[in-house]
Amino acid sequence: MLTVVQPDYVIRRAVAREQEAICRLVRGERLNPHHLHFENFAVAVRGDELIGASQIRRHPDGSRELGSVVVARPWRGRGISARIIGTLLKSETGTVYVITRRKHADHYASWGFVAVPPRTAPRAIRFNYRVGSLIGTVMALLQRRPVNRLTILRRPDVQDRSPKMSRHAL
Ligand SMILES: CC(C)(COP(=O)(O)OP(=O)(O)OC[C@H]1O[C@@H](n2cnc3c(N)ncnc32)[C@H](O)[C@@H]1OP(=O)(O)O)[C@@H](O)C(=O)NCCC(=O)NCCS
């Protein structure tokens, strides 16, 4: 995979020495703390500092899930997350799923992701969706705030993708 150089940070595949920093960044935002293997990650790095990360999880049932989407607070709003996701998806020819808040689904449309009924998703994706929904609902009730509903989005494999589906590279 190509290394993409930006003015003050670099986006590339993660390396072994970044394992701990990846876990810290992802868990610091209370995202799914499991299956954080550096081999699956692309990262944004400034000098020695890890400022963003995302991964494609490879589940035992063969499904693939974009997840652990995170950028350090001072670096948000500059397109870093979008570039990390683009870097990961560039080399994915198969179907990829992402579980996200419903209100954020449009953000992923630019890569060709569309909402699908949970029952049509592979077992591992359905499982993460249910666990995420349950935890989100419990947290919202405890914090007395509205529940952020989740949705499952699917990006078809390369044969089923139409060039019109994506503003980003297919
Ligand atoms: C979500 C997050 C990764 C975005 O990082 P970023 O580098 O600022 O994103 P970008 O600059 O590429 O894109 C910014 C825009 O996309 C939206 N966006 C980017 N990634 C998103 C995501 N995963 N879910 C929802 N919206 C997202 C932002 O709300 C913003 O929208 P706006 O420009 O209309 O205000 C960052 O805010 C973060 O780490 N949040 C905490 C962890 C989190 O909630 N992750 C998402 C789990 S599904």
List per-residue pLDDT tens for the chain, 170 residues long.
666 655 689 999 999 999 999 999 999 998 999 899 999 999 999 999 999 999 999 999 999 999 999 999 999 999 999 999 999 999 999 999 999 999 999 999 999 999 999 999 999 999 999 999 999 999 999 999 998 899 999 999 988 887 665 556 44
- CA-closest residue to ligand 1 atom 40: 70
In the chain, the amino acid numbered 94 is G
**Inter-residue contact 75 to 52 (CB < 8 Å):** yes
- CA-closest residue to ligand 1 atom 42: 70
Range 4-165: architecture per CATH: 3-Layer(aba) Sandwich (3.40)
Residue 133 CA to ligand 1 center (angstroms) comes to 19
Name the pTM for this structure.
Answer: 0.89
Alpha helices in the chain (DSSP H): 19-28, 80-90, 105-109, 123-142
**Does residue 81 have its Cβ closer than 6 Å to ligand 1?**
yes
Spell out the domain ranges in the chain. Answer: 4-165
**Does residue 103 have its Cβ closer than 6 Å to ligand 1?**
no
Residue 136 CA to ligand 1 center (angstroms) comes to 18
In the chain, the amino acid numbered 50 is L
